[in-house]
Amino acid sequence: MTTEQMRDLEQAHQVWVGQWQAQLEALHGRIAARFKRLEVRERVRHFLAALLDDVERKNSWQMAEQMGEAHPAGVQRLLRTAKWEVDGVRDDLRGYVSDELGDPEGVGVVDETGFLKKGRKSVGVKRQYSGTAGRVENSQVGVFLAYSSANGRAFLDRRLHLPEEWAKDAVRRAEAGVPTDVRFATKPELAEQMLAAAFAAGVPMAWVTGDEVYGNASGLRAWLEAEDHPYVLAVATTHEVWLAGTDAEPVAVAVGILAEALPERAWMRLSAGEGSKGPRLYDWACVRLPFLPTAGMAKWVLVRRSIAKPDERAYYRVFGPVETTLPQMVRVAGQRWVIEEVIERAKGEVGLDQYEVRTWEGWHRHITLALLAHALLEVTRAQTNTALATGERGTSSYLDPLYSGRTPSGLAPSDGTTPPVDLPPGLVSVAARPSGESSRLPSAAAVAPLRSPQSGPRCLNVSL
C-alpha cells in the first residue's frame, strides 16, 4: 500500500469515527421518548454502542461487560421487563431509514430468516425448514422488510412468524407472553402488514420484490395491485398465468412452458447488480400478459436464464407502469439478493441472532435494537463515503473493499444499486385487449409491438 493510500485510510478512519459517534447520539435522541425512566434510557444507549462494538457474542454477560456493568441483570431487564415502547422504536427505525436513505426509486424487499433454537420454550419455535441451516431444524422464523436505494440498505420492520400450532395453544402462548390479539398469519400476510405500515408512513418505495414464498401468494399480489404498488416477485416454474388458446378461450400456462416458447431474439443479457465476483450477468426476457389491470398499468412475466446453464431459469410476476422497461425490471429483481446480504451482515455485525430471550416481548426488543444498530452502521457508511468522495482525491473507490464494516474501526462496503443500463428493453408483448372491446382474448400466437420511450416500437412474431 502506498503512502498516499495509508494517509487516505487514516482519513477514512477519522471520518468514520466522527460520523459514527454523531449518528449514535442523534439516533438515541430520536428514540429517547420511548423510554420513560432515565436509567432505561441511558442503558439502551450503552446497549446500542455495545451492539456496534467488537463483542464476540452479543449475549447478556458479554454485553454487560462491554457496557461496564458487573452483572447481566440490567441487560436482561432491558430486554424482558423494563417499561418501553418496542413498536414505537420500530416506528422510529422506519422513519430513520426513510429520512436518511430514502429515494423515490427505493425498493422494499421482503424475506424471512431462521433462528436456530433448542427446546420448545422459545416463542414460535418448532421443527421447520430453516434457510439458515438449509434443512428442517428446531427454529424460530422472522419475516423482515428491508429497504434498498442508491443511498444504502437497511431494515424497516420485522415480524415473528407464530406457527399455527402455537397460535392455538393457550398454555404456550401464556408462558411466552404472546399478546391475546396476535393471531396466526402466513408469511405473505406478515409481509403485507409491514408493507402497509411502510406505505402509510410515507416511505418512498417505487417497487416491492421478494422470493417465491411471496410471489406465489396470490393474495399479496392482488393487494399490491389494488393499491397500485408495483412489484417484481419471484414465482415457481409451475406458476400459471392466463393467456388465450387458439379458439380465443383463456388457457392457463405454466411460466416454465411459456419460457420454452420464447425465440432466442427475445433474450437480452443484463446485469442484476454487483455480486461478490462482479456483475450478476444473466439473459433476460419478458412477456407482457393480456390484461389491463388499471389505467396506465400492465402485467408481465419476467424470465431469468443462466448464461452457463441455459436450462436453469427463474421466473417473476411483474406489475407496474405500462412504460416499464426490461432494464428497470431487472434492476428491481436484482434487489431480492439485498435482504439476504443485510440479514447476514446484521447477524455478523450486530448480533441479530445472538439473543438469550424466550418471550414474545424479548424477541421483538432484541431484534428491533439490533436492526436499529445495523441501520446506524449503514447510514454512517453512506455519509462517510459521501464525505470521502467529495474530497480532493475522491478516495472511496478503493477504500470500500478494504473495510469489513463490523465496528467503528472500518467502513462497510458500498454495494450500491445496479447502475443504469442504456439498452433497449426488448419486451415481448402479447397483444392486450383495448378497453371497451370484446371480452374475448386475442390468440396466444399474436404479438403486438410495444412502444417504449427508450426504444421505439419492437415487433416480435412469437408462436406460443
Q: What is the pLDDT of residues 41-52, one digit of tens each?
A: 999 999 999 999
pLDDT at 428: 37
Q: How far is CA 115 from CA 118, 134, 337, 351, in A?
A: 10, 12, 19, 12
| Residue 254: inside a domain | yes
Q: Summarize pLDDT for 269-287 with one digit per residue, the tens.
A: 999 988 777 889 999 999 9
Read off the amino acid at residue 327: P
| Residue 272: inside a domain | yes
| Residue 279: inside a domain | yes
| Residue 89: inside a domain | no
| Residue 350: inside a domain | no
| Residue 73: inside a domain | no
| pTM metric for this prediction | 0.83
| Residue 424: inside a domain | no
The Cα 129–Cα 161 span in angstroms is 13
User: Which residue range forms the structural domain that includes residue 237?
Assistant: 207-334
Q: What percent of the chain has a predicted confidence (pLDDT) above 90?
A: 62
The CA-CA-CA angle for residues 274, 277, 281, to 5°, reads: 55
Q: List, for the chain, all residue ranges whose pLDDT scores fall below the cut of 50.
A: 392-464
SS3 232: strand
Residue 56, phi-psi category: left (phi > 0), alpha (psi -120 to 50), beta (remainder): alpha
Q: Calculate the average pLDDT of the chain.
A: 82
Q: Quickly list DSSP for 110-127.
A: EEEEEEE--SS-STT-EE
Domains: count for the chain: 1
Q: Which residues of 108-138 are buried (b: 16+ CB within 10 A; e: fewer)?
A: bbbbbbbbebeeeebbbbbeeebebeeeeeb
pLDDT at 5: 67
* H or E, element range at 307: none
Residue 436, phi-psi category: left (phi > 0), alpha (psi -120 to 50), beta (remainder): left
pLDDT at 381: 84
The Cα 292–Cα 381 span in angstroms is 43
